[in-house]
Amino acid sequence: MNILIIEDEVRVADIMTKYLEKENYRVFCAYTGKDGLDLFYKEKIDVVLLDLMLPDIQGEDICKEMRGVSNAYIFMITAKGTLDNKVEGFQIGADEYLVKPVSPRELVARVKALEVRKEREENKDTLVFDKGHLKIYLQERMVKVNNEIVGLTPNEFDLLYELASSPSRVFTREQLIEAVMGIDFDGFDRTIDVHIKNLRKKIEEDTKNPKYIKTVTGIGYKFEGMLV
């Protein structure tokens, strides 16, 4: 995978680069937001490691721009560690939110876990529900509702796939976090609620009375839909 690091602390960026290159990832590095966006548009980037506090452009604005044109995985890496900061990060399209200081070994482990998930999905077939109303193309990581492509973030896609691959099964928030974000995720379990809310807006006709993603009170969520 091609990984883009956007980090203004040169020493931090260099350490992350060395650890990732040791695992044979191709790494691009930028120390400003502008240079990061230039590399993002120039190269085929699979994963972005994005510092939020950059000297020229706010990381949140960079995330919004990237998410508008790409489904690359975006890891926010920042000193902003409040609950509100994290919720905002996920709402604008982040897939991971890591609070500094971040262990480079943990970072590599998260990237490798992401790679394993992608490889696993690429070996599965398309899921079609309700006579084609909802289609999930696993290899292309694409979702269509009424034959119209719906733009999902990587975590939203992974979450939908995990639920849809086991219709009627009830998942706890903890199970979904482990499946989508990894067992070492150290955020809060309500992160899943944010992703579910965003996902429903994109695939449900009525978010107040969802057809596919049902809330199981006191437990978590389940997927309902007739698999073709």
Scan for tokens 């994005």, then name that residue: 50
Structure tokens at 3: 């990984």
CATH topology of domain 124-223: Arc Repressor Mutant, subunit A (1.10.10)
Taking the C-alpha atoms of residue 104 and residue 5, their distance in angstroms, rounded to an integer, is: 13
- Other beta carbons within 10 angstroms of residue 211's beta carbon come to 16
Taking the C-alpha atoms of residue 162 and residue 178, their distance in angstroms, rounded to an integer, is: 11
- Other beta carbons within 10 angstroms of residue 84's beta carbon come to 8
Structure tokens at 162: 């995990």
H/E stretch holding 127: strand 127-129
Q: pLDDT tens track of the chain, all 228 residues?
A: 899 999 999 999 999 999 999 999 999 999 999 999 999 999 999 999 999 999 999 999 999 999 988 889 999 998 887 888 888 889 888 888 888 888 999 899 989 888 877 766 655 578 889 888 899 988 888 999 988 999 999 889 999 999 998 888 999 988 898 888 765 555 556 788 999 999 999 999 999 999 999 999 989 999 998 766
Determine contact, residues 93/67, Cβ cutoff 8 Å. yes
* Stated length of the chain: 228
Structure tokens at 42: 């120039």
Confirm whether 2-118 and 124-223 share one CATH topology.
no
pLDDT computed for residue 42 by the predictor: 94
Torsion angle defined by CA atoms of residues 52, 106, 13 and 99, in that order, rounded to the nearest 10 degrees: 20
Taking the C-alpha atoms of residue 95 and residue 104, their distance in angstroms, rounded to an integer, is: 18
Structure tokens at 110: 């998260």
Taking the C-alpha atoms of residue 187 and residue 66, their distance in angstroms, rounded to an integer, is: 23
Taking the C-alpha atoms of residue 210 and residue 137, their distance in angstroms, rounded to an integer, is: 21
Its pTM surpasses 0.85: no
Determine contact, residues 180/159, Cβ cutoff 8 Å. yes
In sequence order, the 6+-apart residues with CB closer than 8 A to the CB of 153 are 67, 71, 74, 93, 95, 195, 198
- Other beta carbons within 10 angstroms of residue 146's beta carbon come to 10
pLDDT computed for residue 122 by the predictor: 59
CATH topology of domain 2-118: Rossmann fold (3.40.50)
Domain ranges of the chain: 2-118, 124-223
Taking the C-alpha atoms of residue 189 and residue 137, their distance in angstroms, rounded to an integer, is: 27
pLDDT computed for residue 131 by the predictor: 80
Residue closest to 157 by CA, chosen among 107, 121, 205, 191: 121
3 state SS of 184: coil
H/E stretch holding 43: none
